[in-house]
């Protein structure tokens, strides 16, 4: 499988807010680090969803093997790469471990053990595919397009940065939707057939868990999957589909991040301000005057996105959908 990066949808609102969705493939060993970035909406291929023979076949055909084995030393960064006989021996041990994992995963499957356990043995040697959406990329790129990051993470982060730099986002109006896996013309055709393209897009983002994007797509099956996701409370796929904030929403969500006398960073609504805050301004609190020591703004956040509202935010009680239903 190898490293892969493609932009599924890249959109910009009339207010200038940009949102980008990627489909990326990278070594499974860095998934935990990817998941530390809380400003990214993510859906991933699942070890619980894919049949064991399919996972075994993928590892046998194309196992992940590190490009270089750095020498052990203190700290999180490896030393110089092994070479010569040491490098050959390290690769031999890694490939042997992959073969052992394949053998033992197969034995577990033969015993009737569920794939959520058998497939776990294969993860260190697997490639992993994920759908990732965000409006805020600066911190991600600062930390991961960085020689201090693990090499495998640097590779995919650099590919994402370069793809985004060379992509031209499509301008969307307030009533239009950013829809991964559903192109502009397909969206029109779906609407002609009375099929909601937003639901189709959500479902296709969810399908990355089983890697069933290839082949003929059944849009009505996608709608049925969307309804099952909503009914069961699986909200993550709904985060990748979003529309620009309206002028009214931009007005009521406009806020500024500020810190007073090196205190915690607070988000202050624009309606409570006479003017945009700047460093050095004073702020009257209950007992004294404070000085603004940090200021960023304006920002218009709805959950993880700046200037965009995901489909998830239209689901009442999305944080606890089953509890919300019980309370109604």
Average pLDDT for the chain: 93
| pLDDT score, position 214 | 66
> Does residue 65 belong to any structural domain of this protein?
yes
Q: 266 and 157 share a domain?
A: no
> Does residue 220 belong to any structural domain of this protein?
no
pTM for the model:
0.92
Secondary structure element (H or E) that encloses residue 256, with its range: strand 255-260
| pLDDT score, position 324 | 61
> Does residue 279 belong to any structural domain of this protein?
yes
Parallel/antiparallel/unpaired status of strands 4-13 and 170-172: parallel
> Does residue 98 belong to any structural domain of this protein?
yes
> Does residue 232 belong to any structural domain of this protein?
no
Compute the distance between CA of residue 253 and CA of residue 275 in angstroms, rounded to an integer.
16
Determine the structural domain holding residue 279 and report its residue range: 255-299
| pLDDT score, position 317 | 83
CATH number for the domain spanning 129: value is 3.30.1360.170
Q: 32 and 160 share a domain?
A: yes
Q: 162 and 262 share a domain?
A: no
> Does residue 69 belong to any structural domain of this protein?
yes
Beta bridge partners of 268: 256
| pLDDT score, position 213 | 67
Q: Using alpha carbons only, give the angle 55, 160, 230 rounded to the nearest 5 degrees.
A: 60
| pLDDT score, position 115 | 96
Domain finish residue from 117, 142, 170: 170
| pLDDT score, position 316 | 86
Cβ-based burial of 37 (10 A; exposed 0-12, middle 13-18, buried ≥19): middle
Compute the distance between CA of residue 98 and CA of residue 56 in angstroms, rounded to an integer.
10
> Does residue 212 belong to any structural domain of this protein?
no
Q: How many domains does the chain have?
A: 2
Q: 276 and 133 share a domain?
A: no
**pLDDT, one tens digit for every residue, the chain (328 residues):** 799 999 999 999 999 999 999 999 999 999 999 999 999 999 999 999 899 999 999 999 999 999 999 999 999 989 999 999 999 999 999 999 999 999 999 999 999 999 999 999 999 999 999 999 999 999 999 999 999 999 999 999 999 999 999 999 999 999 999 999 999 999 999 999 999 999 999 999 999 988 776 666 789 999 999 999 998 889 999 999 999 999 999 988 889 999 999 889 988 888 777 788 899 998 888 888 999 999 988 899 999 999 999 999 999 888 777 666 666 6
Secondary structure element (H or E) that encloses residue 202, with its range: helix 197-206
């Amino acid at each position: 499988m190898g490293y892969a990066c493609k932009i599924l949808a890249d959109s910009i609102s009339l207010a200038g807010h940009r949102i980008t969705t990627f489909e990326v493939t990278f070594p499974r060993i860095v998934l935990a680090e990817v998941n530390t970035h809380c400003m990214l909406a993510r859906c991933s291929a699942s070890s619980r969803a894919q049949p064991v023979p399919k996972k075994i076949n993928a590892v046998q055909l194309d196992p992940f093997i590190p490009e270089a084995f750095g020498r052990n030393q203190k700290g999180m960064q490896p030393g110089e790469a092994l070479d010569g006989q040491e490098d050959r021996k390290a690769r031999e041990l890694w490939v042997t471990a992959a073969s052992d994992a394949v053998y033992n995963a197969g034995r577990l499957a033969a015993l009737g053990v569920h794939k959520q356990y058998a497939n776990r043995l294969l993860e260190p040697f697997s490639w992993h595919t994920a759908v990732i959406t965000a409006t805020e990329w600066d911190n991600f790129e600062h930390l991961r397009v960085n020689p201090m990051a693990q090499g495998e993470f640097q590779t995919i982060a650099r590919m994402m940065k370069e793809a985004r730099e060379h992509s031209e986002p499509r301008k969307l109006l307030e009533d239009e939707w950013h829809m991964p896996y559903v192109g502009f013309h397909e969206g029109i055709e779906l609407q002609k057939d009375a099929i909601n393209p937003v639901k189709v897009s959500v479902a296709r983002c969810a399908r990355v868990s089983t890697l069933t994007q290839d082949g003929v797509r059944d849009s009505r099956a996608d709608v049925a999957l969307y309804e099952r996701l909503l009914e069961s409370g699986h909200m993550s796929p709904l985060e990748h589909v979003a529309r620009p904030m309206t002028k009214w929403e931009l007005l009521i969500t406009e806020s500024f991040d500020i810190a007073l006398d090196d205190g915690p960073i607070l988000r202050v609504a624009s309606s409570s301000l006479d003017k945009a805050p700047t460093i050095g301004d004073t702020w009257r609190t209950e007992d004294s005057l404070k000085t603004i020591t940090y200021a960023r703004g304006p920002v218009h956040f709805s959950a993880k996105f700046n200037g965009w509202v995901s489909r998830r935010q239209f689901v009442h009680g999305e944080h606890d959908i089953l509890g919300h239903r019980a309370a109604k």
